[in-house]
Amino acid sequence: MDERKLLGQRIKSLRKIKGYTQEQLAEIIDINPKYLSSIERGEENPTLDLFLRLAQGLKVELSDLLRFTHEETNPKALRKSLDHLLATADVEQLQMACKLLAALLE
């Protein structure tokens, strides 16, 4: 997958984790929401200045924007990945995972 698309997915993922809509984040960093949408789709090449504003608006380190890998979207693959992680967890980790998932999914 193209690095711009991966970067766009990373920005979108961080935005959603922070609970912002595209419009809210665009307002915070003073850009047009349509431009942010284009960035998230991997159609734009943001400037360094914009990267800095995105990091500040998302309240993350600049390096966090660039920590991306292919984000899986296939439900079967995601469940398999979760199954693998849970199979290797100890009791305390399983308890924490249950609490985190319950909080996330409620």
- 17-45 per-position pLDDT tens digit: 999 999 999 999 999 999 999 999 999 98
- Domain parsing of the chain, residue ranges: 3-65, 75-105
* Apex 36 CA angle, 60 and 71, nearest 5: 60
Three state DSSP letters for 22-83: HHHHHHHHCCCHHHHHHHHCCCCCCCHHHHHHHHHHHCCCHHHHCCCCCCCCCHHHHHHHHH
Mean pLDDT for the chain overall: 89
- Domain 3-65, CATH among 3.40.50.300, 3.40.50.150, 1.10.260.40, 1.20.120.1460: 1.10.260.40
Please tell me which residue, 85 or 11, carries the higher pLDDT value: 11
Percentage of the chain exceeding pLDDT 70? 94
